[in-house]
Structure 1
Amino acid sequence: MKNSKNTPKIYVGTYGMYNSGSLFGKWFDLSDYSDAQEFYKDCYEYHRNEFLSSGCRPELMFQDWEYIPAFMISESSLHQDTFKYFEAVSEMDDDRAEAFEIYCSDIISWPANGNELEETLEGFEEAYQGYYGGAFKDPKTEFTYQYVEDTGMLSGVPETLERYFDYEAFGRDLFLEGYTEYNGHVFIDI
C-alpha cells in the first residue's frame, strides 16, 4: 500500500480494556502492512499483556479510524479485502479514487453485494464517466455539453440553430434515465 497524506489509520483497543474503563490502545497505520494478517498480528502483539493476564486472545475494538470508507470497517472488524481495496485506489488519482468509493458505497453496495473486487473494478470502469466540477456550476449541465460534443449530436446543424439547443433541458432528460451524478462524478446507470 502506498503511503500518502491521507493514510488510513485505526485506533485499536480491546473490549476488555474498554469494559474496565480504559481506552488504552494505539493508532495503527495501515500503510505499514501488506495484508490483514500482518495487521492483526501486530494488534494482538501490542495487546499481548491482556492475553497473558486472561489466557484468552483479546477481542480487538476499533475505537476510531481515519480515511477508511465505512463499508470496509466496523467497531469489531476490518473487511478481508481492505488491503486489496487500498492497493487498487493507490493507483488512481484523487478524483477517480473518490469516484470509486462513491461507486462502492452508494451505487452497488460493495462489498456487501458479494462481488469480488476485480468484478467491482470492471463495473466501475464501465460505469464511470468522469468528474464534472469545473467551469459550470452544475455538473449535469457540464456533462451534457461534453456528451453532445462527444456524440456529435449537433454536428451538421447550422450554427444559428445550434444556439437554440437547450442543454439544461436535454441534461435533465439524460439524468432522468441513463446517468447519475454524485458530488460531480457522473456514472452510467447499470
Structure 2
Amino acid sequence: MKATVEFRIYVGTYAKYNNGSIFGSWLDLSQYPGSEAFYQACSKLHKDESDPEFMFQDWEGMPDFLISESYLSPLCFQYLDIVSDMEQHRAEAFEIYCSQIARWSADGDLDEQLQNFDECYQGYYAESATDPQLEYAYEYVDQTGMLSDVSPTVQRYFDYEAFARDLFMDTYTQINGHVFFDY
C-alpha cells in the first residue's frame, strides 16, 4: 500500500502571536510545487502584514528534522516527493532512518540519504506477534543457509534468541519493527 503522505503546516506569524492572535491556516504542502510557491501562499495568507515573519505553529506528517517553529528545510519538498512514491512501511522506515540513524553530510544530500537507506534497510518485522529481532534472526538464518549443512537433529538445538541478541548488539538496529544494517 502506497504511503498517504500529507504534510500540513499551520502557518501563523510572530506579530499576530505576540499580539495575542493565533490566526493562520493549515497549508497542505502537496498543493505547492516547491518552497517558493509555498512561501507565496504564506505571504498571501498574511497579506495584512508588510513583512510577515512566518511561524509554523503546528504540523502534521512532517518529520521533525525538516521543520521547526521558524524553519522549513529546503529539502522538504524533495522529501515529500520521495516518500509519496514509497509503500507505507518503507516511508515510515525512511523517516526513522533520516531522523535517528543517518549522519547528514554538510550539503544535506537527500539522494545520498536515500541511497544509504536502500543499502541498510532490511525490512519490517513487526507483522506477527513475535519479537521483530527474533523474526529477523529466523529469516536471516533461512536466507543465508547458515544451517543448511547441519543435520536436522543439530538444527533443533540452535539458539535463535541468543543469535538474535548477538545480531542486534552491533550489526543491526531495530526501531518500531524496522530493521537496519549498521554500516
Aligned length: 182
Show the counterpart of 1:40: 39
Deviation of residue 115 (structure 1)?
A: 3.3
Q: Which of 136, 144, 157 matches 2:137?
A: 144
- CA offset digits 1:26-68 (Å, max 9, x no partner): 11111101111100011001111111xxxxx110011111110
Q: Is 1:8–1:66's contact at 8 Å kept on the other side of the alignment?
A: yes
Show the counterpart of 2:81: 87
Output the CA distance in 1 between the equivalents of 2:108 and 2:76: 14
Q: Which of 55, 61, 71 matches 1:67?
A: 61
1:117 to 1:15, Cα distance in 2 relative to 1, 3 A: same
Q: Is 2:123–2:178's contact at 8 Å kept on the other side of the alignment?
A: yes
Identity, % of aligned positions = 54
Show the counterpart of 1:54: none
Show the counterpart of 1:77: 71
Specify which structure has the bigger relative contact order, considering alpha-carbon pairs within 8 angstroms and separated by 6 or more residues. 2
Give the residue type in structure 1 aligned to 2:86: M
Output the CA distance in 1 between the equivalents of 2:75 and 2:16: 28
Give the residue type in structure 1 aligned to 2:40: K
- CA offset digits 1:98-157 (Å, max 9, x no partner): 0000000010154x7643001000000001000001234210000000000010000021
Normalised to the residue count of structure 2, the TM-score between the two structures is 0.94
1:130 to 1:180, Cα distance in 2 relative to 1, 3 A: same
Give the residue type in structure 2 aligned to 1:50: E
Show the counterpart of 1:15: 14
Output the CA distance in 1 between the equivalents of 2:18 and 2:174: 44
Output the CA distance in 2 between the equivalents of 1:160 and 1:136: 27
Output the CA distance in 1 between the equivalents of 2:100 and 2:3: 26
Output the CA distance in 2 between the equivalents of 1:142 and 1:61: 44
Structure 1 segments of 4+ aligned residues over 4 angstroms from their partners: none
Structure 2: segments with no counterpart, 5+ residues: none
Question: Is 1:160 matched with 2:146?
Answer: no
Output the CA distance in 2 between the equivalents of 1:11 and 1:141: 41
Q: Is 2:10–2:26's contact at 8 Å kept on the other side of the alignment?
A: yes
Normalised to the residue count of structure 1, the TM-score between the two structures is 0.91
Q: Is 1:13–1:63's contact at 8 Å kept on the other side of the alignment?
A: yes
SS at match of 1:13: strand
Question: Is 1:104 matched with 2:98?
Answer: yes
Alpha-carbon RMSD across the aligned residues, in angstroms, is 1.6
SS at match of 1:49: coil
